């Protein structure tokens, strides 16, 4: 079950000049299923990434970090390869060897240096990567390369997602039109041992070397780092932005008049993708926005948003359409702001002012709260009344299906 | 449903000389239900407490802190009063007035100073305390005062607990025999707006002024601060140790030969009480011990134990009797030890060595893990391999009933 998540339309997913995708069936976990994706970039493309902080990070994540860290022509990233069905995590030395062998094999196919490849894996943890099957299928994926394969690419990286996740936009800038298209996968660590989130965004805008790195981190914090389903961060989470520079729009610095509109468009698109993961969240029946403002710092706003978004008591109350003020206020109270003056805290459920100066709003009618909580999309606005900082987070409710999905099945 | 939690036997709950309890029905929330408990202490008793860190702490919690902070004869605590059915939290100025009025009324009954009273409330948040009903019932509770009312006291502080929680022990010391008896309530914040944990322990040992304060904090960290059901800390959590000094055992300092045995007995009893809360946890079907060792500091061991004990993915796996190594390792990985060398991490499920040097133990058979996970009581042992510190935490699984209890009912 998904919450207001329509299937992407193939013809709405715009090709990005200089970016190609090739899909194949490697049979890594299941037979007759697209499970291998190769992506190639035109020479001179800029690539930046943000990766999981989990100490049990997968071998491919470690190699991505190394290959992105290097500079010079040899370090120029020209291709990415993604397999589903196996996360190549908790696999030790052999896992590193397998991930490097994947890069070497694809480099040979594309006549590149292995250091120009970024490898990604998603699927079962603690099981060896079936490297032979993967390498055998690489030529098929390369032969399939094309600019209009976005939908197939989105399907190829799915694991337990109930549907493909992709979106596309064009943005007008002073220097011309820029196209941005992205795909992602993830639905919480639904499956036992499933290692989860991947996001890839490509644009034909050009970025000066290095310029994309900080922007990618900023965008991740405003999108994929601002969603939570069960609070578990996986061993393979990766988010990549690729700029081919094949459009007339060449951005030299943050002062470039085209930088603003492209930045905003990238943020919006990344947020849309991130929210798709929540809308397809395990057992989700509601899509919830936690909007915290009036904080001294963005960090303390994030603490409060996370506490509310993570609380099983709050999430079950949303599932029950129960305007349970006590649970939300209690979560604000233990979020970790040690000098929070609760008498300054205001809270709204949708358009209803429910908590006034730290207590129940005398004018609040339970029926009004009920009305808001019945909706599929709910916004909780919290004003801490101690500053100007703000943070928004997106989450879903905690339903019987969450327990069923995570307890009753085993791949 | 509870996990190996037998009902306490009245005649096993030993009276503590100098400590009396009186119970009454105030009709605060439901009629014909014990919901008011008064406890009195002999002159010269020592009292120490640990309270919730939730910023939305209840009015009585704030007053307890003040009354315990004062010193001198006037500050000597001589009585406690507990009501269930209403938490007097999120009630602002009126809540403070009501809690102070409760102290004043009981002080009048007992011919004490209001500052010698500690007030406690547990129940629904954000609703005004029905102070008139409470004060009307105080004389009945005082008339009922007696030393052998432990079981009735345990029942009187229950809210959504499925059964009364109490235990008792005697300990031999060089100076003579000490009796310790305690009660507690809490089962996670089961009910909407229910504010949760209360623990009261009384002993006839004597403690020099101040000596009990640090000991109580230490005991809380080893017991009630080492359990988690859903990670939500309530607005009313309070833990109190009372020493009447009516036994021959008078402890002047930590070097006193009687201090050791009494300290250990208090820790054991507090842990037993705390574990009763987990065994009666919302929807609990399994009792799980997370034993983290080999850390550099106790704090980092606690981080890891909490991450594992809080993970909904880990808890649903326990519910499913699924030896899901990937989920537990992932939780260890995101616990917050940024320099953790995962290759040094070992893990055991019960007696089965499942994770070796950060990966799956080659000798591990899934059937062995399955056998351990089938049990009602499971111990996860994690060795971080980086030091000598250790921490233990207790939790329960996450079942369909957790969602039902929290989503389907509303008081």
Q: Which segments of chain B belong to CATH 3.10.20.340? A: 287-408
Distance of residue B17 Cα from the nearest chain A Cα, in angstroms: 38
Distance CA A259, CA A207 (A): 9
Nearest CB to A340 within list B55, B89, B332: B55
Contacts of B239 (CB under 8 A, 6+ apart): B49, B50, B51, B197, B198, B199, B216, B220, B224, B270
Nearest CB to B358 within list A92, A359, A404: A92
What count of Cα atoms within 13 Å lies in the side-chain half-sphere of residue A17? 13
Residue A297 CA, chain-centre distance (Å), reads 24
Put simply, whether A146 touches B (Cβ < 8 Å) is: no
Residue B298 CA, chain-centre distance (Å), reads 20
Measuring CA to CA, which residue among A59, A336, A90 is closest to residue B333?
A90
pLDDT value at residue B20: 98
Q: Which of B91, B167, B196, B285 is catalytic?
A: B196
Distance CA B262, CA B268 (A): 10
Query: What order of strands is seen across the sheet that includes strand B176-185?
Result: B46-51, B238-243, B198-203, B176-185, B165-173
pLDDT band at B192 (very low <50, low <70, confident <90, very high): very low
Put simply, whether A235 touches B (Cβ < 8 Å) is: yes
CA closest to A318 among chain B residues: B407
Distances (CA, A) of B291 to B122, B233, B309, B326, B382: 31, 22, 10, 18, 6
pLDDT band at A192 (very low <50, low <70, confident <90, very high): very low
How much is the mean pLDDT over chain B?
Answer: 92
How much is the mean pLDDT over chain A?
Answer: 92
Catalytic residue check, A297: no
Degrees (nearest 5) of the Cα angle A309, A313, A316? 85
Q: Which of A196, A203, A228, A285 is catalytic?
A: A196
Contact A234, A189 (CB under 8 A): yes
Distance of residue B109 Cα from the nearest chain A Cα, in angstroms: 32
Cβ of B189 within 8 Å of Cβ of A334? The answer is no
Contact A96, A59 (CB under 8 A): yes
Distance CA A169, CA B270 (A): 60
Distance CA A216, CA B139 (A): 68
- For residues B92-120, average pLDDT: 97
pLDDT at A216 > cutoff 50: yes
Cβ of B322 within 8 Å of Cβ of A407? The answer is yes
Query: Tokens standing for A162?
Result: 């109930």
Residues in A closer than 8 angstroms to B331, CB to CB, are 232
Cβ of A125 within 8 Å of Cβ of B410? The answer is no
Put simply, whether A408 touches B (Cβ < 8 Å) is: yes
Nearest CB to A403 within list B126, B332, B398: B398
Distance of residue A292 Cα from the nearest chain B Cα, in angstroms: 17
Query: Tokens standing for B350?
Result: 């019960």
The secondary structure of B251-320 as a DSSP string is E-STTSTTHHHHHHHHHHHHHHHHHHHHHT-TT---EEEEEEEEESSHHHHHHHHHHHHH-HHHHHHHHT
Lowest mean pLDDT among A399-403, B91-95, B156-160, B207-211: A399-403
Pick the CATH number of B287-408 from 3.30.930.10, 3.30.470.20, 2.130.10.10, 3.10.20.340: 3.10.20.340
Lowest mean pLDDT among A316-320, B170-174, B175-179: A316-320
Q: Bigger pLDDT: A92 or B41? A: B41
Put simply, whether B338 touches A (Cβ < 8 Å) is: yes
Contacts of B15 (CB under 8 A, 6+ apart): B147, B148, B150, B179, B181
Nearest CB to A56 within list B127, B324, B330: B330
Distance CA A314, CA A318 (A): 6
Contact A58, A98 (CB under 8 A): no
Q: Which residues pair with B28 in a beta bridge?
A: none
pLDDT value at residue B70: 82
Determine how β-strand B389-396 pairs with β-strand B287-295.
antiparallel
Contact A232, B312 (CB under 8 A): yes
- For residues B205-231, average pLDDT: 89
Distances (CA, A) of A64 to A50, A98, A238, A269, B110: 10, 14, 9, 23, 72
Distances (CA, A) of A92 to A55, A119, B260, B284: 13, 16, 46, 36
Q: Which segments of chain B belong to CATH 3.60.70.12? A: 10-280
Contacts of B3 (CB under 8 A, 6+ apart): B278, B279, B281, B284, B285, B286, B287, B376, B377, B396
Determine how β-strand B250-251 pairs with β-strand B206-207.
parallel
Cβ of A195 within 8 Å of Cβ of B316? The answer is no
Class of domain A10-280: alpha beta
Q: Which residues pair with B109 in a beta bridge?
A: none
Residues in A closer than 8 angstroms to B349, CB to CB, are none
Q: ipTM of this model?
A: 0.80
The torsion angles phi and psi of A84, rounded to 5 degrees, stand at -110, 165
Q: Please identify among residues 2-41 of chain B the ones whose CB lies closer than 8 Å to any CB of chain A.
A: none
Give percent of chain A with pLDDT exceeding 70: 95
Q: Bigger pLDDT: B73 or B343? A: B343
Put simply, whether A377 touches B (Cβ < 8 Å) is: no
Residues written for chain A: 411
Residues in B closer than 8 angstroms to A229, CB to CB, are none
CA closest to A334 among chain B residues: B54
CA closest to B399 among chain A residues: A403
Cβ of B189 within 8 Å of Cβ of A327? The answer is yes
The model's pLDDT over B47-56, given as tens digits with 9 standing for 90+, comes to 999 998 888 8
Put simply, whether A310 touches B (Cβ < 8 Å) is: yes
Distance of residue B324 Cα from the nearest chain A Cα, in angstroms: 7
The model's pLDDT over A283-327, given as tens digits with 9 standing for 90+, comes to 899 999 999 999 999 999 999 999 999 888 899 999 999 888 888
CA closest to B325 among chain A residues: A193
Contact B56, B235 (CB under 8 A): yes
pLDDT value at residue A403: 84
Put simply, whether A331 touches B (Cβ < 8 Å) is: yes
Cβ of A330 within 8 Å of Cβ of B233? The answer is yes
Query: Tokens standing for B91?
Result: 């009630």
| Interface-testing mutation among A57, A236, A313, A349, with chain B (most B C-beta atoms within 10 A) | A313
Distance of residue B254 Cα from the nearest chain A Cα, in angstroms: 32
Determine how β-strand A377-383 pairs with β-strand B287-295.
unpaired
Measuring CA to CA, which residue among B293, B306, B292 is closest to residue B227?
B306
Residues in A closer than 8 angstroms to B230, CB to CB, are 311-313
Q: What is the CA radius of gyration of chain B?
A: 22
Cβ of B312 within 8 Å of Cβ of A316? The answer is no
Residues in A closer than 8 angstroms to B281, CB to CB, are none
pLDDT at A191 > cutoff 50: no
Nearest CB to B92 within list A90, A317, A358: A358
Distances (CA, A) of A323 to A327, A367, A400, B402, B406: 9, 9, 19, 18, 13
Nearest CB to A232 within list B194, B234, B313: B313
Determine how β-strand B194-195 pairs with β-strand B117-124.
antiparallel
pLDDT value at residue A410: 47
Put simply, whether A267 touches B (Cβ < 8 Å) is: no
Nearest CB to A334 within list B54, B319, B337: B54
Put simply, whether A128 touches B (Cβ < 8 Å) is: no
pTM score: 0.86
Mean pLDDT comparison of A179-193, B27-41, B136-150, highest-scoring range: B136-150
pLDDT at A253 > cutoff 80: yes
The model's pLDDT over A70-127, given as tens digits with 9 standing for 90+, comes to 865 445 999 999 999 999 998 889 999 999 999 999 999 999 999 999 999 998 888 8
- For residues A125-151, average pLDDT: 96
- Asked if residue B133 belongs to a known ligand binding site, the reply is no
The model's pLDDT over B282-328, given as tens digits with 9 standing for 90+, comes to 889 999 999 999 999 999 999 999 999 988 889 999 999 988 888 89
The model's pLDDT over B337-395, given as tens digits with 9 standing for 90+, comes to 999 999 999 999 999 999 999 988 999 999 999 999 999 999 999 999 999 999 999 99
Put simply, whether A338 touches B (Cβ < 8 Å) is: yes
């Amino acid at each position: 079950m998904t919450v207001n998540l329509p299937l992407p339309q193939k013809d709405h997913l715009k090709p990005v000049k200089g970016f190609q995708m090739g899909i194949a069936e490697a049979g890594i976990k299941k037979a007759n299923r697209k499970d291998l994706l190769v992506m190639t970039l035109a020479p001179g493309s800029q690539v930046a990434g943000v990766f999981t902080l989990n100490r049990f990070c997968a071998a491919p994540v470690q190699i991505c970090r190394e290959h992105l860290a290097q500079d010079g022509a040899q370090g120029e990233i020209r291709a990415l390869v993604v397999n589903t069905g196996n996360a190549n995590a908790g696999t030790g030395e052999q896992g590193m060897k397998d991930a490097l062998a994947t890069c070497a094999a694809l480099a040979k196919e594309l006549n590149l240096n292995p250091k120009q490849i970024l490898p990604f894996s998603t699927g079962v943890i603690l099981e060896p990567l079936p490297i032979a099957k993967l390498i055998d299928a690489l030529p098929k994926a390369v032969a399939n390369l094309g600019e209009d394969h976005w939908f197939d690419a989105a399907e190829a990286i799915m694991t337990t997602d109930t549907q493909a996740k992709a979106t596309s936009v064009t943005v007008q800038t002073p220097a011309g039109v820029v196209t941005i298209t992205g795909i992602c996968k993830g639905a919480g660590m639904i499956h036992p041992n499933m290692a989860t989130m991947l996001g890839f965004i490509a644009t034909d805008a050009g970025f000066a070397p290095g310029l994309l790195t900080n922007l990618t981190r900023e965008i991740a914090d405003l999108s994929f780092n601002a969603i939570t389903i069960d609070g578990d961060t996986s061993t393979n989470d990766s988010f990549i932005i690729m700029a081919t520079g094949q459009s007339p729009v060449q951005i030299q610095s943050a002062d470039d008049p085209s930088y603003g509109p492209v930045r905003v468009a990238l943020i919006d698109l990344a947020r849309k993708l991130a929210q798709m993961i929540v809308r397809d969240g395990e057992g989700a029946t509601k899509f919830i926005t936690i909007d915290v403002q009036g904080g001294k710092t963005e960090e303390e706003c994030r603490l409060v948003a996370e506490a509310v978004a993570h609380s099983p008591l709050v999430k079950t109350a949303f599932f029950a359409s129960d305007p349970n003020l006590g649970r939300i206020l209690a979560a604000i109270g233990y979020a970790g702001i040690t000098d929070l003056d609760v008498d300054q805290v205001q809270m709204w459920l949708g358009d209803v002012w429910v908590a006034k100066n730290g207590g129940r709003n005398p004018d609040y009618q339970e029926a009004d709260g009920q009305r808001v909580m019945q909706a599929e999309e709910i916004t909780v606005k919290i004003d801490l009344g101690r500053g100007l900082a703000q943070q928004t987070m997106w989450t879903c409710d905690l339903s019987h299906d969450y327990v069923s999905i995570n307890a009753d099945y085993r791949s």
